[in-house]
A and B are shown apart, each in its own frame.
Chain A
Amino acid sequence: MSRSSSLKITRVGLLGLLAPSVAIYTFVIIVPLALSFYYSLTDWVGGPTKNYIGFRNYSLLVHDSLFWHSFKNNMIILALTLIIQMSLAFLLTTLFMSKALRLKELHRTVIFFPVVLSAVVVGFVWQMIYSHDYGILNSILRSIGLESAIRPWLDDPKIVIYSVTVPLIWQYLGIPLMIFVSAVHGIPKDIYESCELDGCTGFKKARYITFPLIYDTIKVVVMLCISSNMLVFSHIYVMTGGGPGTSSMVMAQYAYKTSFGSMQLGYGSAVTIGMFVISFGIVLIFKRLAEVRV
């Protein structure tokens, strides 16, 4: 019966084809996650002995002010990225759709270019930009007479978290932009034409036609943005190493530091699992919220 149609696939055949990817996924995601969870229940500090201590690491984690501080930093980065990056990307998309913009290809390439750079390279470049004595940012400020605006960008605990967010927004601006542009290309031209006949132009076109029609795409982009920002690590590691003190510490770096800096592998695993639970929770909450609208 299964041979009746070569195009039809049986349940078993489907499972058979899925098995390899599931196996790979299991090895690189599920197994490490399960192992991390197991380690998080021990007091492992890197030796041959691991003592089972139940959920003590987690009760420590809940009261760990540094972990919540890192979480807060993650949320600041996430909020800034969502607001600034998304709106910039949307704004640029409408610009790209307008006839006024010349050299679209060039603009697109230039904006997308940083995405392919390594995060570490971007971190180093921005560290130089922010440099107090030699940085281009401070020299620009100086040359236009804004000496009063010069700050130790990466040394002031009050502004450092914003300073490290800028490169993140800058580097990954290209991704939402690309996705938005291709989504907007998918909107049939006649809709725009008919709305123009009705006297709808510029901002109104973006608000009442483009936005609702690419709403689903926006949801996907926001989801991507959330998941990547919860894991941000390399930029900050390179630029400040979490400093000064712990003012620019994010969760991934805290996990790394406890695991490999202080060798508290058990507790470090608990931090990782905590990170996983929180990120997963935020994505779920967002999904719920997004379903309600329109």
Chain B
Amino acid sequence: MKVKLWKPMGMSVAALALGMSLIAGCGGKDATKDSAPSASGNQTEASADASSPAKAPVKVTFMNLWAKDSTENIAVTVRAELAKFKQENPDIVVVEESIGDQNAYYTKLKTLAASNDLPDIFISKGSELAMFAQNETVASLDDALGEDAAWKDGFLSTAFNDLSSGGHTYGVPFSMLATHVVYYNKQIFADAGFASFPKTWSELEDAIAKIKAKGITPIALGNKEQWVAESCVLSALGDRFTGTEWFTSINAKSGAKFTDPDFVKSLAALQNLAKAGAFNADLNSINNDQQKTLYFNGKAAMFMEGSWAIGAVSAAPKEIADNTEVAVLPSVEGGKGNARATSGGAGSGYAVGIKGYAAKKDAITKVLKAMSGESFAKSLAEKGEPAAFKVGEYDKSKVSPLSVKYAELASQLQFTPIYDSYLSPALTSVMNAGLQDLLIDAVSPEDLAKKIQAAYEKES
């Protein structure tokens, strides 16, 4: 019996081995690619110093959302600083992984977090960081910051707000951005009889009606990816009505509700804009790049996006770029919030995966300093981008005119919380999807507020 069994068994083993090796073969490539950064111990780098063969360079992985050929100011500045860092520190090798698409980036990040495989340094939003912190997959940077007071105190005092949770700091900020800026075409406004941007809400409604009557879309909105209406519009509009204290209370879970009349009023104001035809009809099926396209083609009088859009607007067709001014939403009647405010802050920052931190703390801290400290901040400021680190005097000659206008505006503004930097991803996704419905009048402000509140209560 044994002999008889042997042959088919052998056959099966051979076939199995073949099959498995095929599968393993497919997976092999990924495995080597993924393990390369972490297997720092058994790989010798060409750049390693020959005189000290015992000391292999430390590898620090850095995952970011700036495409390799990105011309964004921040990406260019970080890469220049890293190149400089590489020359000064031959014993530290920074391995960059860049994913240009924001959605894909955060999907990958969350997947890595789920398997506790986060890179040594990565970029993350505050709300995600709070979740990672709860899951113990990111390292607290309290120590590293505490050890170097000059570095820590060099940051703007509010810069860490978005990146802390439970009393610990989990991220190092690099820039200060506003998520809500109104970019408007002053020519179109002048044609409609407005010499400057409306100062009150009713004036704005009036302007919208007049611009619409001329056959131009008053506000271009591309909310397909769902975050634009919330992050770039409602975060600021909501604060006009509720005031910042309300959100602080929401965030601390100390009494405020999404069904509070003030917040409902802000939803209603947004819906009224939509009902008045302020937006393009396909607002839920185009994205934020396409909303800029509408504006660049002169088909829309304004659009609302964060300060990151300055670069794109500066590169727009000349007659559009020259006519573009920046503003924020006007004050609203009975609003509790400051009218000279916009949603903004550090938004996101560098965070550190807990796995690599234990072994490579010093190297990681050095890289973080190079990418956020004074020399970085200065060269960022020279490109017209506000840094999170205080800078003294810098060369303003290369800054684009729009950046100067924005800097002037921003200096008068108070930054209020960006909703999706604080609210949990689950709650944000309910709110974002609901806003799409709100904008096409498929849900009433009251019902949406109830829905958001229900999701909020489910979490506590």
> Which residues of A pack against B, CB within 8 Å?
2, 10, 12-13, 15-17, 19-21, 23-24, 27, 45-49, 127, 130-133, 152-157, 239-247, 257, 260-265
Contacts and interface: CB of A to CB of B under 8 A. Distances in A.
B6 to A, nearest CB: 10
Given A262-B425, A263-B131, A19 B443 contact: no
12 contacts: A2-B4, A13-B7, A16-B8, A16-B9, A20-B20, A23-B19, A46-B110, A46-B113, A127-B285, A131-B285, A154-B284, A240-B284
B284 A244 contact: yes
Nearest to A135: B282
A151 to B, nearest CB: 9
B67 interface: no
Interface string B187-230: 00000000000000000000000000000000000001110000
B135 A49 contact: yes
B137 A48 contact: yes
B158 to A, nearest CB: 27
Contacts of B439: 244
Contacts of A245: 433-434, 436-437, 440, 442-443
B15 A240 contact: no
B276 to A, nearest CB: 17
A10 B131 CA distance: 57
Contacts of A46: 110, 113-114, 131, 135, 137
Contacts of A49: 135
Contacts of B281: 132, 152, 155
Interface residues on B, range: 35 or more
Contacts of B7: 13
B285 A154 contact: yes
Contact of B224 (A152, A243, A257, A263): A243
B426 interface: yes
A153 B111 CA distance: 34
Most central of A49, A130, A133 by chain B CB within 10 Å: A133
Interface in B87-125: 107, 110-111, 113-114, 116
| 5 shortest interchain CB distances as A-B pairs | A47-B135, A245-B437, A16-B12, A262-B426, A132-B282
Contacts of B286: 131
Contacts of A10: 8
B285 A155 contact: yes
Contact of A20 (B18, B111, B429): B18
B426 A47 contact: no
Nearest to B107: A260
A48 B15 contact: no
B135 A12 contact: no
A197 B322 CA distance: 81
Given A17-B12, A23-B20, A260-B110, A156 B440 contact: yes
Given A47-B136, A244-B437, 18 more contacts: A12-B4, A16-B9, A16-B12, A17-B12, A21-B19, A47-B134, A127-B285, A132-B282, A152-B285, A154-B282, A154-B285, A243-B224, A243-B285, A244-B285, A245-B437, A246-B437, A247-B442, A263-B425
B230 to A, nearest CB: 13
B283 interface: yes
B399 interface: no
A106 to B, nearest CB: 34
A193 B383 CA distance: 82
Contacts of A13: 7-8, 11
A240 B134 CA distance: 32
B5 interface: yes
Contacts of A243: 224, 226, 284-285, 433, 436
Interface string B423-441: 0111001000110110110
B11 A16 contact: yes
B11 A17 contact: yes
B176 to A, nearest CB: 27
B23 interface: yes
B324 interface: no
Contacts of A19: 12, 15-16
B282 A152 contact: yes
Given A132-B280, A260-B107, A23 B224 contact: no
Interface string B260-287: 0000000000000000000011111110
A131 B425 contact: no
Contact of A263 (B16, B110, B284): B110
A13 B12 CA distance: 8
A243 B18 CA distance: 46
Contacts of A242: 433
